[in-house]
Structures are given as C-alpha cells and as structure tokens.
Structure 1
Amino acid sequence: MLYYLFDYLNSMDIPGAGVFQYISFRAGMAAFLSLLITITFGKNLINYLRKKQVGEDIRDLGLEGQIQKKGTPTMGGLIIIAAILIPTVLLARLDNVYVVLLVIATCWLGIIGFLDDYIKVFRKNKEGLAGRFKIVGQVGLGLIVGLTLYFNEYVVVREVSPASLASIEVQDYQQDPDSKIEFKDVKSTKTTVPFLKNNELDYGKILPFVPEKYTWIIYVLVVIVIITAVSNGANITDGIDGLAAGTSGIIGLTLAILAYLSGRIDFSSYLNIMYIPNLAELVIFCTAFVGACLGFLWYNAYPAQVFMGDTGSLTLGGVIAVLALAVRKELLIPILCGIFLIENLSVILQVSYFKYTKKKYGEGRRIFLMSPLHHHYQKKNIHEAKIVTRFWIAGILLAIVTLATLKLR
C-alpha cells in the first residue's frame, strides 16, 4: 500500500518519494520491518500463549533436555506469518501475480497448520489434523499454484532480441521497456535444469506421447508433488530449537537472489537464464520471509522460548516450494533444500528398513539410532545447539552450490 502512496507522491514531484520505485530499497525495508515486528511483538505473543496455556505436549523419546521443554508455548508460527504478510502488503506491488500467489500460499498453509496445532493443543488430540486433510489442503494449494502459473496471462518468459539488447542501456530499458527494445512475451512450461549447458526442461516434452493440450495436467501434478514434499520436509525438520527457522532463512535468502537475477534483464542475459518480467517484485516477499525467520530465532534459538508448531513449519516449507516454482528453479530444490530432503529420507529409510527386517527376520532393525536425522545425532549425545549450527553450515554450503549452478554447466 505504501508503494502506491509514494508512487502518487512521486507523480507530484515530491522530493524523495521516488525511492520507493527501487526494489532494493523496498526489499531492505521489508527485511527491517519483518525483523522489527517479530522481535517487538514476539514477546507479547509468547506471554499471551503462556497465559492461555498453549504449551507443547512433549513425548518422552529419551533425548537429553527434552522433558524440560514440556509446556513451552507453541503456535509461534503466527508471528512468522504476520511478519511476512505485513511488510509484503505495505511495500510490494499488490497487482503483481507472483506476490498475490505467495500471499495466498502463506495464508492457506498457515490456516492448515493452525488447525493442526489447535486440535493438538486445545482438543488434546496428539495426532492433530488428520493426515488426509493435510494432504487435501496441500493438493488444493498445488492446484491453485499450478493452474495460476500455467494459465495466467502475466506469467510469461520474455524473449529479447539480442541485437536490440546490445543497443540500449539497461537502465533506460527498465524505465520504458515497451518503446525501447524488441521483445516477445511467451507462455512457457520450461524450467531450469542444474549443471547442463542448455539447461532448460520443457514439461510439455517430458512425455512425448501426451498431446500438448494436456501439458497443464503434467505441470500441475509436478507442482502438487513439490509443494507437498517440501512442506512436509520443513515440518519434519522442525524438531529441535532453531533448526527449521534458520534453515528456511538461508533458503529464503538464496531464492531472493535467484528472483532478483531472473527478474533483471541484464543479469539474466549475462547468466543465460530465463528473464521473467515482474518477478523481481518477489524479492520484497523473500526479504520479509528471511526477516521473519531470523526474527523468530530471537526467541526460538536454544533454549527455545516458543515453538513455531505446524502453523509455522508447514507454511515455511510450502512458501519455499511456491517461490522455487515461480522462479522456475524447482529442480534445484534437492540441492537448495537438501536439509529438508535428507530429513525426509532418513524417516523413509528408517521406516522402510524396519518393516523389511521385521518381515524377513521377525525383528525390526534400524539404520539410524532415531529418525529424523537430527534425533540420531542427539542420541549420539551431541548437544542440540551444535547439531543446529552444523546443519546451518551445511545449509549455507548447499545454498552456495545452488548459486554456483548458474555458471557451472
């Protein structure tokens, strides 16, 4: 909303009002405001949750320091959601399809996570929201995101004439693209493939025997799988203090860089990646996302004063998935979200191997001391603060590799 106010003031030649035209300024303001909201109002939320006795019911898994966490307020994801949405609504352009889609995704998954936490805390049902209802919610969001990205007329890839690009300054182009340069906006189902020279995959050509008019079905199915997998991956990762928030913040910052590069013609041309008009506006959302994660760590770092609950973890994972899809870098998710992936795989491998050995030998055996993987290290008597720090370092390394794929082909 402030963008439109300052745009109006700028049209009246009010000095300084034009600064809101710069994405970099609004992105920095979004991060600052998000941090301010989280740190300032986080304490109030914690006190309110304690007053309402909204505490986590901890199961005794034999982990050091676990029982002491019993009664710690949960549903702290509410402050994360607020810290993402408020700066975005205030500072981003609300006529941008990508921004609107991310706002919808944040609210949608926030509601699903809130219902799950509400049932656990107030209904005293440890199972929370039934798994089938979570899946229905994630599939529903996948349908919305997939259909929007496929059919919306403003979701395009801009193909620019190399000759006209070389003849003009980028700054002039950004001010008046229609009259300054030759380009063609095309609907495309292409995405980026890491480490390959001609690094684009067209969903329409994955199954050659499927008619082109049915490509949208393949694309939507892929979107549903990605959103469901990453959302659940973040949910599983949220097991020890600061792990999910810190990891998500690293991923969010990486996606902000990718959105900025893909949304600028000069950088996308230099890196030989798809130029996606209007995508750079997502940087404001991304920096608000990063600010919310970092601000939440103020209270969630060991020893945690509040847990995000499914309200936060499902939202963080789903938002990351939608961001990656919007930037057309979803095939980088196994690298960028490698922490989520390995946490997911540790659970799948543990359960599968246990069932297999029980059927074969009559006694179930385990690969890890406990799953997800962070609990395995806790069982090895490594302090959870050290585990979290090492996982963050691994996340930073994965983020660097992700960015390096832009040139390593």
Structure 2
Amino acid sequence: MIENLDCLDIKYKFVTYIIFRSICSFITSIIFSVYITKHIIKLFSNLQFNQVIRYEGPSSHYNKKNTPTMGGVTIIISTIISVIIWSDLLNNYIWYILYILISYGIIGLIDDYYKITKKNSKGITAKYKYLFLSIISLIIIYFVFIDCINQKHELPIPFIKNINFKINWIYLIIMYFVIVGTSNSVNITDGLDGLAIIPVILIATIFAIISFISGNIDLSNYFNLQYICNAGELIIFCTSLIGSGIVFLWFNTYPAEIFMGDIGSLSLGGTIGIIALLLHQEILLIIIGGVLVIETISVIIQVICFKIFKIRIFNMAPIHHHYEIKGYKESKITVRFWIISLLLFLIGIISL
C-alpha cells in the first residue's frame, strides 16, 4: 500500500512539474517577445527593412510598403530563449525542433534579405529555396525515422481507435512532405495581417495537449493515445511558441505594425511539421491545419489549370486574395479564416 502511494506521489510530482515548466515557458516567451518585438519594430523601421509588395497583387496592399518585415525573428528568438531556460536539453526531440526552427529561419532570412535589397518580391528562386529546405529536412528525417523504428512507433488514424499503420520506408516520403509542405503552406497563407499566426497557435495548442498525454504512460493509456517516451518535453516547446505567437499577433493584427516575413513563415511551418512527425499526428495536422491546406490547394489548382487549360479558377491565388479582389475587407477575410481554424481545432480535439 505504501509503495503504491509513493508511486502515485512520484507521478503526481512529474505531472505538476511539467505543467509548471510549461506555464513558465509560456510566460517567459511572452515577456521576452514583448520586449524584443518593440525594439525590432523600431530598428527595422529605421533600417527600412520594409515589406516588398507584389505589383500584381491586390491594390489595397500598396499602402503596406512602409511596414517593416522579418518580424518572425522575434518569435524565433523568444521561443529559443524560453525553451533553453525551461526544457530538458538532454531530450533529443528538443534539438530536432530547434534544428528545423533555426535552419528554416536562416533560409527565410536570406529570402527576405534578397527581397529587401533587390526590391523584388520573389527573393530566392523557388528552385534553390526548395533545394535548401529539402536538404535540411532530409537530414533530420533520417534521425527521426531511426527513432521511430527503434521505439516501434505507429501512425494513428484520427476518429478511429486501435487501428494504426506500421511505420516503414514509405513513411520517409510522408515525413518529407509534412515538413517541407507545412513550411510552404504557412508561407503561402501569410498574405494578410494576422492570417497565418492563428492557425499556427491553434496547432501548437493541440500539440501541447497531445505531447502532455503521450509523454505520460498512464495518461496515454487512459486516453488511448500512443505512448512516446520523449514526447512530454515537447509541451515546453509548444507553450513557448504559443506565447511568442500571441505577442506577435498583438502587433500583426490589422493594420499590422510588422510582418512575419519568410523568416517567420518558413520556420514556423517547418516547426509545426516536425512536431507533428515526432507526435505521429500527421493526419491530425491536415485536419486542424485545414486553412493552410486550402490555401495551398488553391495555388496548386490555379497553376495547373492555367498551364494546362489557360484558365484561372480564382481571381487570384492563394484564395484569400481571391476574396480581396471580390471586394471583401481584409479584416473580415482574416477573422472568418480564424473562425474556420477554430472549428477545425475543435474537430481535432474530438478526433483524439
């Protein structure tokens, strides 16, 4: 009886300890993000690191040309600081995510720098951008795949319990598209003030819940989720990302004081992609990231139809520009996309 009580006490301390650290990481990222963002806005404004507007884009965007960009650096810095302070740095999963966050952030930084210096909205050519993103992702995919095989993980199916897919070499292809695809989806979605950051925050929120449950063998059994021994620590990364994202949203809501830039969109997309892989929630990512998926599909459809049939399905792609040209106000489009993201988030919660 005494042994059982001691065991319960240890488990209780573990749960409360990781909750305490996750709350602290959330607060820490908010504090640092507020401080950093204010200074970054002033610095980038003085340096004239302003958004380069596509001339073929909606005319309503021309008044944004004096708004500073590369604001994603504030999310990256505040998240890294918070994670280093509050996470267990002996956990390999933390380093996997930091690797993607920083590496993709560097690619985004170079892309933004080219846009600013050349006064061209294209930046790095798509060929080289995908090449660098692919090389970075393939390196981390190797290590994650080895972990999956060693720990005999399986891929769960939302809404369907007790039916999982065994991980094999085909999973390598899925892993690649999850990281690179999600990164580019966030990049495509980041076209209106505040549009991209809310889906990222909601995805990070549900992943924080899943990592907390999956990282504890008793909770994972109770909720019928796959136990992943290193997953519990991911809640620290998720809460840090949520805190940084909320502060960025404060300054990014319409009319935005700063834009995320490719440094933010590529790194955030890659980060939620790698977290989805580590938690084996790739299918759930498609559900709760439905807005990102719709935005990406709209671009794919537009390009294919124009190249093959020489017709345009949308007035402009991605789809949020289509609604702008139809006369909808930017703020209305953004809020409605937020509502859709929230509904998809609730569906994702139900599917667990």
TM-score, length basis structure 1: 0.79
Sequence identity percentage: 39
1:196 aligns with 2:160: yes
CA contact (8 A) 1:262 1:279 kept: yes
Three-state SS of the structure 1 residue aligned to 2:331 is helix
How far has the Cα of 1:62 moved from its partner?
6.0
Distance 2:98 2:120 in 1: 30
CA contact (8 A) 2:53 2:121 kept: no
1:404 aligns with 2:350: yes
Matched with 2:202 is 250
Equivalent residue runs for 1:210-289 within 5 Å? 215=169, 218-289=170-241
CA contact (8 A) 1:350 1:371 kept: yes
Paired residues, what number? Answer: 340
Three-state SS of the structure 1 residue aligned to 2:196 is helix
Equivalent residue runs for 1:291-310 within 5 Å? 291-310=243-262
Distance 1:198 1:19 in 2: 27
How far has the Cα of 1:202 moved from its partner?
1.1
Distance 1:221 1:47 in 2: 43
How far has the Cα of 1:326 moved from its partner?
0.4
**Compared CA separation, residues 19 and 326, structure 1 to 2 (3 A):** closer
Matched with 1:175 is none
Matched with 2:104 is 109
How far has the Cα of 1:124 moved from its partner?
3.4
**Compared CA separation, residues 20 and 330, structure 1 to 2 (3 A):** closer
CA contact (8 A) 1:146 1:219 kept: no
Distance 1:321 1:404 in 2: 21
Matched with 2:297 is 345
Matched with 2:4 is none
Q: Which has the larger radius of gyration?
A: 1
Equivalent residue runs for 1:8-407 within 5 Å? 22-61=17-56, 63=58, 65-152=60-147, 187-204=151-168, 215=169, 218-358=170-310, 365-406=311-352
- CA RMSD after TM alignment: 1.8
Distance 2:52 2:281 in 1: 38
Distance 2:174 2:140 in 1: 11
CA contact (8 A) 2:52 2:120 kept: no
Structure 1 residue identity aligned to 2:290: G
Three-state SS of the structure 1 residue aligned to 2:155 is strand
How far has the Cα of 1:226 moved from its partner?
1.3
5+ unaligned residues in a row in structure 2: which ranges?
1-12
TM-score, length basis structure 2: 0.92
Distance 1:398 1:36 in 2: 29
Structure 2 residue identity aligned to 1:353: C
Q: Deviations over 1:232-268 (max 9, x none)?
A: 0000000000011122111111111111111122221
Distance 2:230 2:65 in 1: 46
Distance 2:254 2:220 in 1: 40
Q: Deviations over 1:318-350 (max 9, x none)?
A: 001000000011122221211110000001111
Distance 2:57 2:270 in 1: 31
How far has the Cα of 1:144 moved from its partner?
2.4
**Compared CA separation, residues 31 and 203, structure 1 to 2 (3 A):** same
